């Protein structure tokens, strides 16, 4: 039961924040390329889902899973995208991501007069609160390395 990593993208595709807690395998490409690939994959999945869907969708793409991990996706109406990879035991992290947006991002970044929106989030308070929140999640447990 664990959270692997978390990405926050803005609506132009730039990665505002990335942190990892329990990542076992790196992607084999540089971090910049990985962010672009992740954003591109999500963009394509969203377009794929909107075309493929047999009915009109309200929320769209929610999550996907592979044999080893699950990716949860949450997009705000302003185009901010939250992506979290967890292991398979977490069925739904949507409320977690919504909480991260409304209680952490809005509180510590948007309401911060020093933080410029659209640039990388470098608020230490945000990072430490986010870290504490993730570690306090019921489904987080630090695995022995």
Question: Does 37 participate in binding other proteins (rule CB under 8 A)?
Answer: yes
In the range 86-145, which residues lie near other proteins by CB under 8 A?
A: 87
Half-sphere exposure of 96 (CA within 13 A, CB side): 25
Question: Does 71 participate in binding other proteins (rule CB under 8 A)?
Answer: yes
Question: Does 68 participate in binding other proteins (rule CB under 8 A)?
Answer: yes
Separation CA 95–CA 47 (nearest Å): 23
Question: Does 38 participate in binding other proteins (rule CB under 8 A)?
Answer: yes
Separation CA 137–CA 86 (nearest Å): 12
Total residue length of the chain:
145
Among residues 78 and 92, whose Cβ is nearest to other proteins? Answer: 92
Binding track over 44-63 against other proteins, x by CB under 8 A: xx--xxxxxxxxxxxxxxxx
CA Rg, the chain, in Å? 15
Separation CA 109–CA 121 (nearest Å): 7
Question: Does 27 participate in binding other proteins (rule CB under 8 A)?
Answer: yes
**What is the nearest approach in angstroms of other proteins to the Cβ of residue 33?**
11
Question: Who contacts 1 (Cβ-Cβ below 8 Å, separation ≥6)?
Answer: 87, 89, 90, 139, 140, 141
Size of the site for other proteins (CB under 8 A): 40
Among residues 39 and 108, whose Cβ is nearest to other proteins? Answer: 39
Q: Which residues bind other proteins (CB under 8 A)?
A: 4-5, 20, 22-25, 27-28, 34, 37-38, 41, 44-45, 48-69, 71, 85, 87
């Amino acid at each position: 039961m664990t959270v692997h990593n978390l990405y926050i993208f803005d609506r132009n595709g730039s990665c505002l924040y990335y942190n990892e807690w329990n990542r076992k395998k790196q992607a084999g490409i540089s971090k910049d390329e990985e962010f672009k690939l992740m954003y591109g994959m999500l963009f394509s999945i969203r377009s794929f889902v909107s075309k493929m869907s047999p009915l009109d969708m309200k929320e769209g793409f929610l999550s996907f899973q592979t044999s080893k991990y699950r990716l949860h996706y949450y997009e705000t109406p302003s185009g901010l995208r939250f992506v979290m990879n967890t292991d398979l035991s977490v069925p739904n992290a949507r409320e977690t991501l919504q909480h991260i947006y409304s209680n952490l991002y809005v509180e510590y970044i948007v309401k911060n007069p020093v933080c410029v929106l659209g640039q990388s989030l470098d608020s230490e308070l945000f990072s430490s609160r986010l870290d504490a929140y993730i570690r306090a999640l019921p489904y987080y447990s630090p695995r022995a390395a």
